[in-house]
Structures are given as C-alpha cells and as structure tokens.
Structure 1
Amino acid sequence: MSIRIEALKVKSVKAPKAKSGSSFDFLNKEISFSGNSLKDKQKEEYYSNLGMLLSSGIDMRSALKIICDEKTRKKEKEIFNALFEDMIKGMNLSDSMRSSGHFSDYECYSVGIGEETGRLNEVLHEIAKYFSNRIKQKRQLVNTFTYPTIVIVTALLVVIFMMNFIVPMFMDIFKRFSGELPALTQMVMDISQAFNRNFLIYLLVIIAIVSILFSLRKREFFRKYGSKLVMKIPVVGTLVIKTYLVRYCHTMALLLSAKIPLLRAIRLMGKMISYHPFEQAMAQFEVDIMHGKTLYQSMAKFSLFDSKMKSLTKVGEEINQLDKIYTSLSKQYEEELQHQIGILNSLLEPILIIFVGLFVALILVAMYLPMFQMSNSFV
C-alpha cells in the first residue's frame, strides 16, 4: 500500500479554532501553533532532541524520559511527564500530544503520519526545522523594527521635553520685548502652549484610541480592513505579505512531504494562519478543491500570490511534485525577505536620524530667530 493511502488512514482530529489575530500581529503570532504553555523555542528543542534521540536508537519511552528529566521549569516538566506516562499506558505519541492540549492539530497530525508511515524521525526533524525558521524570521522582523521604534520614541521624548521646558523659557524672554515675532516662532510657541494646556487631554485621547483598537482587533471588519491598510503601506506591506508567503510555502511543503492529502493540508493551513487575507484564501482554496478545481485555479483569484507562485503551483500539480516546488519557493522567498529587510535597515537609519535632526533644528531655529532679529536691529 502506498504511503499516501497509509496517510489517509490516520484519523482526523478536531482542533480548537485558532484565535483571530489583528492585522498588526505579524511580529508576534502570525501562525498559531496552539500551546499556551510551550513557546516556539521550547517546541523546537523538543522536536529536535526527540528526533536526535530516536535516530540514535533510543526507544520512545526512554527518549521522553530523558527529555522530561532535563526540564527544570515546573509547567514544562509536567507536560512532558504526562507524555511519558501516556506512553507507559500504551498510547502512541500523536494521541498523547493531542490529549495534552498543548500541541496543535498540525503537529499531532504530522506526528501521526510519521508513526503510521515509519517516517517519525524525518517528521520530527522537519517540524523542528520549521520552528527554528519561524524563530529566525521573527527575530529578523523584531530587529528590523526595534531601531526605528527606539528612534521614534526618543524623538517624541525630546520634542515633549523641548515643548514643556525649552520653548517656555524662550517665551518668558520674548515677553520682555515688544515687537512682532517671526511666523515660525509664533507657530512653535502656539503649539507649545496648546500642548502644555491640553497635555492630559491628548494623553487620554491616545489611550482611548489604543484601547479601542485593542478591543476591536479580533472583530471581523477590523481585521479585514486593517489587513488591507497594512498591505498598502509601502515596504511594510511587502514585508508582511512576503513573511506569510514564506510560511505558507514552508508549511505546505512540510504537510505535503508527509503525504498529507492536499485538501487536508489546506484545512490545516486555514486553522493555523491568523492573517485575514490568507484566511480568506485558504477558505476559498478548500471550497474550490472540493468542487474539483485545482489549487492553481483557485490561487489565480487572489492577488496575494504573485505570478511566480501561481505558475510554479500549476507546474507542481501537473508533475505531482508540489511539495518540492513549495520547498524551493520557501527558500527563494526567505532570501528575498532577508534582502528586503537588509535594504530597509540600511535606509531607515539615515532617514530617521536626518528626520529627527531636522525636527529638533526647526524648533531651535524658531527660538533663535527673534534673537537674530533683535541683534540686527542694534547694528
């Protein structure tokens, strides 16, 4: 019996519905692998260590016992100890992981496929590789946006300080002299006065806006239109889409290489992904495939996927090598993503420094203009 037919024997599982994420969650939880207790790093270590131990000839029970004994955190130790005890009772690993509630449908189903087909070691290494890549991507994105965030926050603090302390000092000096102030100086002074008078109101408005956005982040309409807005932001939108394309290709490659049927793989993707445009695409893929259409025909409806993705998907379906096609695409998109992040980093640093410098210089020039005028009047 072929591996594909064996894969179909694995019973389906009912996974809890993935949490709906906001359009701005791509830095944190773009794809949810369920696991309120186990983080990506912990899962990567678990799959990597388990695969290594099994490859060295250690039986499953002993491998789980070793993994459990090396854990120092109480919650982590409890989770893996439960897996070990289930193995003693005769449960297989996939059922034990599923009953624990700390592993996603994708993980349990893939491990089940590995157990049924005798490819468990390979599946474990592939899942570990996926989590490793996901951690790497997340760090890259966090590093990309950390510097701009620090610069922007610093600039805001500098502006607040100048508006609250520096500008009022100059205002006291200017009050002693008669005469009309330059337009730029008057504008900065008016802004400073308004800022000082209404600072609390501005702060409350900002808090209210942030609270409203936070409360609406899971609403369907907010996620839909928020996602569209993010994708229209220059550079950022491209990075977001490219990040999801990498993860889509890599996850589909893992699922299909494990001989999971295409329709089942699409359903798993729909549960794991939490970015609205891709959720909609996965839902449409499932409907179209059930009605006899190919993945390429369904994908052609969406602008999320570029022409390269669509063309190679068509080729992959025709030659029945979709998993290899997606593996190759995943590497290509990841290289493109890293290149774009590098360009963004090289451009953001000088642009932000120049912007902050010009803004501070503008305030200082506005304050010194009247003094220049007064000094010229005495010449």
Structure 2
Amino acid sequence: MQSNKIRLHDREQFLTRLAVLMKEGYLLPVALSLLLPMHTQKLELALSGIAGILKSGGNAAEILKFLGFNDHVLFPIEIAEYHGRLPESIDSIAKSFARTEQVQKKLKNILIYPVSLLIFTSILFLFFRTSYVPNLTEMMKSLQSGSEESGVPAYLLSLPDFFIALFVSFAFSIYVFRLVLKRQVIQKQITWLLAIPILRRFMKLYWSHLLARELGTLLHSGISMQESLDLLQRQNYHKIIQYMANLSHEELLMGQSFSMSLERFSFISKDMAAFIRHGEQTGYLGKEMILYSEVLMERIEQQTQQLLRIIQPSFFIIIAICIVGAYLAILMPMYNLVHTI
C-alpha cells in the first residue's frame, strides 16, 4: 500500500479528533475523509489507498498502518476491534501520543543547550590545537635550557572530541543492537533487553502495562479469559505480548489460574501477580487490570522524569571536565617553565 508515501502531521491531534468524531457516531471512513484534508498534503493518494483497503475487507489497523502509524499504535487498534471500543482506544492512544511527545520535547529542550555547548567547545579547542598550541610550544622550547621537555599536553584539548566520538559510537551501537535484536527469537529478545540494567526496569513496566491494558479491556467487555488470551496470541503487531499470552494460555489449559501463571514470568512487574490475584478474588479482574495499567503508566512517567533530570547535569559535568583539561594543558607547561627560569 506504499504507506511510506503518506505523511500525517499533528498525529496526536489527528487521533484525538478521530476519537471525538467516532464517539459522535461518525463511521471510520467518513471520519477519515473529514480529517485527512487537515493532516496530509497527499489527500487523493490517502483516500484512494483507504478505499482500496476497505474494498479488500481491511480493518482499522490496516488503514492506520497505511497512514504511517507504527505497531505500538496498531496493536491496541486491532484488539479494540474485538471488544468494540475503538473510539475509546483511539482516544487512549492519542493521550499516549501526547505523553510521548511531551517527553521528547522535554528531552530535546534539555539536550539542545549542553550538546550545542559541547560542540562549540570542541570547535574552540580545535582552534587552540591548530593555532595557539604550536606557537606556545615553539616559544617554550626557545626559552628552555637543556634537554628538559615541558610541551603543551595537547591530548587534554582533545577531550571534547573524545566525548563526542563516544556519544556517536554509543548511538551507532544502539542502532546496530536494535537491528540485531529484531532478528532474534522472542525469548532471546526478552533476555537481551532484561540484561541491560537501566532498560530492564522500564521494559518490565512497559510490558506489564500493555498486557494489563489490553487484556483488562477485553475482559471488561465481557470476553472470557481464554478467548482474550487467544486474541492476544493471534495478533501480529506485538510479538512479546503474543508470547506472554501464549505462555499464560498454556498454563490455563493445565488448570492454573492467570495470577499463578504470571508468577512464573521474570519479565513482568513484581506486584502484577498479586494485583491480578486480588482482581480474581473480587470478580472485577478486567476493571482492576485497566486501573493497574494506569498505575504502571504513572510509574513509567515518574522514572522517565527522574532519568531526564540526570541527563543535563551529566552533560555539564562533561563540559566542565573539558574546560579544566584545557586550563591544565595551558597552565601546567607555563608553571614548569617558570621553575626552569
């Protein structure tokens, strides 16, 4: 369907408006035809593509995939078509979009000043190494007596270059890691992600949040546990949730409760099994799982904010190290020269 040719702008607003129109009773094709002129410059291509998907029996997830949305959006959309709460799911996705964009905007604002300062420092130090340091070294050699050497340690002026190269290498390593990770089986993907200390905590919360939100919504809609897990197994947009649902379904077939099956998982939040057990006892498992998913999202947001508060001071510490290194590179040789005179 050449989804890469469709570029929607203001995606969060698009999803919010789509949810509002559908709650007001508009059918999905009609709502899309009203919204697309405001969100894409390739209206005819978008409308013809959507019409082709509908004629071939496609669903809402396929339409949104054609419009360029990724699997994290398509996963809850596909599940929503089973429990019949598509407008509510789209509205929830729009709110998640807003949270993500807010975090990305804050991260950008946090990084833009220190990163720019680090790059400017690197350029300034390059000027020192190429223009100032050679002249200073020649002057010191002419003033020195004997075979003593007290040249300028120019490697200290290369600290900004070192840190920039380190960051570039780190970014490239993450890119390669993601490419290799996608080619692994699900079990190995989980093992690799949980082996990273900082990422381990976020992934457990995120997977638990997704499972609780989608499974809780299905149960709250009146669908049985086995049928809900079967639906999660048959979706193809989130392989890890598919794997978790498969394991839980096998445990249920062996006579185990859902909460007991979760106790065997090392890749979910620690208190999830206890929370699910309480829902099973009260008879409001679906509703309580939805509530638990919201609690997990709040935890993810809190830990993300804590991580963001560390990033900017770390960059300023790196810049401070570079400046101190520059002072040492210039002042130490002069200090040694004074003692030789």
Query: What is the TM-score of this pair, normalised by structure 2?
Result: 0.71
Aligned counterpart, 2:68: none
Deviation at 1:279, TM superposition (A): 5.6
Q: 2:150·2:336 contact (CA, 8 Å) conserved in 1?
A: no
CA shift in 2, pair 1:343/1:317, >3 Å: same
What percentage of aligned pairs have identical amino acids? Answer: 12
- Aligned equivalents of 1:135, 1:283: Cα separation in 2: 28
Aligned counterpart, 1:186: 153
CA shift in 2, pair 1:285/1:273, >3 Å: farther
- From 157, 170, 173, give the equivalent of 2:119: 157
Q: SS state of the match for residue 260, structure 1?
A: coil
CA shift in 2, pair 1:314/1:126, >3 Å: same
- From 48, 60, 71, give the equivalent of 1:78: 48
After superposition, give the CA deviation of every residue in 1:38-69 in whole Å (9 maximum; x if it has no partner): 876344432331122x1xxx6x4xx7435414
Aligned counterpart, 2:80: 110
Deviation at 1:254, TM superposition (A): 2.1
Deviation at 1:127, TM superposition (A): 1.0
After superposition, give the CA deviation of every residue in 1:83-106 in whole Å (9 maximum; x if it has no partner): 8x76xxxx9xxx552695646575
Deviation at 1:131, TM superposition (A): 0.8
- From 264, 280, 289, give the equivalent of 1:301: 264
- Aligned equivalents of 1:245, 1:139: Cα separation in 2: 22
After superposition, give the CA deviation of every residue in 1:63-88 in whole Å (9 maximum; x if it has no partner): 743541442132443355568x76xx
Q: Which aligned pairs between 1:173-322 and structure 2 lie closer than 5 A?
A: 173-176=136-139, 177=141, 178=144, 179-181=148-150, 186=153, 188=155, 192=158, 212-213=176-177, 215-220=179-184, 223-224=189-190, 226-230=192-196, 232-233=197-198, 236-269=199-232, 271=235, 274=238, 280-322=243-285
Q: 1:249·1:327 contact (CA, 8 Å) conserved in 2?
A: yes
Aligned counterpart, 2:327: 364
* Letter in structure 2 aligned against 1:227: L
Aligned counterpart, 1:132: 94
After superposition, give the CA deviation of every residue in 1:312-350 in whole Å (9 maximum; x if it has no partner): 111212333111111221222222233333333334333
CA shift in 2, pair 1:98/1:315, >3 Å: same
Q: Which shows bigger deviation, 40-49 or 304-313?
A: 40-49
Q: 2:19·2:87 contact (CA, 8 Å) conserved in 1?
A: yes
Q: SS state of the match for residue 220, structure 1?
A: coil
Report whether the alignment pairs 1:50 with 2:50: no
Q: How many corresponding residue pairs?
A: 310
Deviation at 1:214, TM superposition (A): 5.6
Aligned counterpart, 2:70: none
- Aligned equivalents of 1:368, 1:339: Cα separation in 2: 45
The gaps in structure 1 that reach 5 residues or longer are: 1-34, 115-122
The alignment's C-alpha RMSD in Å is: 4.2
Q: 1:49·1:67 contact (CA, 8 Å) conserved in 2?
A: no
Higher helix share goes to which structure?
A: 2
Aligned counterpart, 1:328: 291
- Aligned equivalents of 1:349, 1:205: Cα separation in 2: 19
Q: Which shows bigger deviation, 252-261 or 145-154?
A: 145-154
Aligned counterpart, 1:68: 33
Q: SS state of the match for residue 252, structure 2?
A: helix
* Letter in structure 1 aligned against 2:290: T
CA shift in 2, pair 1:216/1:159, >3 Å: farther
- Aligned equivalents of 2:96, 2:242: Cα separation in 1: 19
Q: Which shows bigger deviation, 211-220 or 365-374?
A: 211-220
* Letter in structure 2 aligned against 1:181: S
Q: 2:216·2:287 contact (CA, 8 Å) conserved in 1?
A: yes
* Letter in structure 2 aligned against 1:111: E
More relative contact order, 1 or 2 (CA 8 Å, 6+ apart): 1
Aligned counterpart, 2:69: none
Report whether the alignment pairs 1:146 with 2:118: no
CA shift in 2, pair 1:175/1:360, >3 Å: same
- Aligned equivalents of 2:222, 2:31: Cα separation in 1: 30
- Aligned equivalents of 2:274, 2:282: Cα separation in 1: 13
* Letter in structure 1 aligned against 2:119: L
CA shift in 2, pair 1:257/1:325, >3 Å: same
Runs of 4+ in structure 1 displaced over 6 angstroms? 202-208
Q: Which aligned pairs between 1:344-355 and structure 2 lie closer than 5 A?
A: 344-355=307-318
* Letter in structure 2 aligned against 1:304: F
